[in-house]
């Protein structure tokens, strides 16, 4: 069965600094990988996804993530943090051979941005 | 995503009562997922349904919880005889064939 771990439940960065949120997964088949963001009292929205093809994936709001099969990782980065990036970030994995499949979420990382 | 409608947004129940949470996915999405989120925790998978069929309910508690997605109408998550531990935010998401999930804004259940 697939699973997701996110190292660091809370991450603080200064405004303008690099954002790095870590995600490792386990999957018995080539995975679909996702990053979602959740703002307070809202649902989750997709930041970016990896299905097949290019391993460096660009998403919304300047975020990107790189799929590294050898490391079973899908870390999320952004070169320069903005105050509006403060939110909860969830990494997720699906073993969707049919594109519809159970999606498993990691425990989340809360990002704080310090002015 | 504003396209996925969940109601009620907030629900208060006393112990022993029933809670019914509804979810209408976006048009064209025939698959629905339910997740539970406890304070300071991530999302826990509960159940995955398509119209008139439960595909995976491995995350559902064995008792008191049930879910359906009828041919017509919204998907419903039903919790019978609620207990305080059921207090949480319950999120519904619709599935697209890209694997992406489109989430509603959640239903927050408080059990007194």
Listed as own residue / partner, the contacts of B14-19 with beta carbons closer than 8 Å and 24 or more positions apart are B14/B82, B14/B111, B14/B112, B15/B81, B15/B82, B15/B83, B15/B84, B15/B111, B15/B112, B16/B81, B16/B82, B17/B81, B17/B82, B18/B78, B18/B79, B18/B80, B18/B81, B18/B82, B19/B78, B19/B79, B19/B82, B19/B86, B19/B109, B19/B111
Beta-ladder partners of A10: A110
**How many residue pairs from chains A and B have C-beta atoms closer than 8 A?**
66
The nearest CA of chain B is from the CA of A81 a distance in Å of: 23
How does pLDDT run across A57-102, given as a tens digit for each residue?
999 999 999 999 999 999 999 999 999 999 999 999 987 655 457 7
- Contact check, Cβ <8 Å, B91/A105: no
Can you say how many angstroms the Cα of residue B3 is from the centroid of all Cα atoms in its chain?
16
Q: What is the pLDDT of residue A97?
A: 56
User: Phi first, then psi: what are they for A106, rounded to 5°?
Assistant: -75, 175
Q: Tokens at residue A1, please?
A: 């069965």
The residues pairing with A32 across neighbouring beta strands, listed in sequence order, are A94
Alpha-carbon gap, residue A91 to A33, rounded angstroms? 7
Nearest to A104 by CA among B46, B5, B71: B46
Q: For residue range B28-59, what is the model confidence (pLDDT) as tens digits?
A: 888 899 999 987 778 899 999 988 899 889 99
Q: In this complex, is the C-beta atom of B101 within 8 Å of any C-beta atom belonging to chain A?
A: yes
Site from B42, B54, B104, B105 to mutate, A interface, most A CB atoms within 10 angstroms: B42
d(CA A10, CA A27): 25
Distance from CA of A21 to the nearest CA of B (A): 15
Whether B109 shows a pLDDT value over 70: the answer reads yes
Min distance B15 CA to chain A CA atoms (Å): 24
User: What pLDDT digit, counting tens, does each position of B55-102 carry?
Assistant: 889 999 999 999 999 988 999 999 999 999 999 999 999 986 667 888
């Amino acid at each position: 069965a697939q699973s997701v771990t996110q190292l660091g439940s809370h991450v603080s960065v200064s405004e303008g600094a690099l954002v790095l949120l870590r995600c490792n997964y386990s999957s018995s088949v080539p995975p679909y990988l996702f990053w979602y963001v959740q703002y307070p009292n809202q649902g989750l929205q997709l930041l970016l996804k990896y299905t097949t093809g290019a391993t460096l994936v660009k998403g919304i709001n300047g975020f990107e993530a790189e799929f590294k099969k050898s490391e079973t990782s899908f870390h999320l980065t952004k070169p320069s943090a903005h105050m509006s990036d403060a939110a909860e970030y969830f990494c997720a994995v699906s073993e969707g051979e049919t594109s519809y499949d159970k999606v498993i979420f990691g425990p989340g990382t809360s990002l704080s941005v310090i002015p | 995503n504003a396209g996925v409608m969940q109601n009620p947004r907030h629900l208060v129940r006393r112990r022993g009562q029933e809670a019914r949470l509804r979810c209408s996915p976006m048009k064209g999405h025939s698959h629905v997922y339910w997740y539970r989120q406890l304070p300071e925790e991530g999302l826990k998978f509960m159940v995955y349904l398509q119209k008139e069929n439960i595909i995976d309910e491995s995350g559902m508690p064995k008792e008191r919880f049930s879910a359906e997605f009828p041919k017509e109408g919204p998907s419903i998550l039903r919790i019978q005889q609620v207990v305080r531990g059921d207090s949480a935010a319950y999120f519904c998401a619709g599935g697209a064939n890209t694997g992406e999930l489109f989430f509603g804004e959640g239903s927050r259940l408080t059990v007194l």
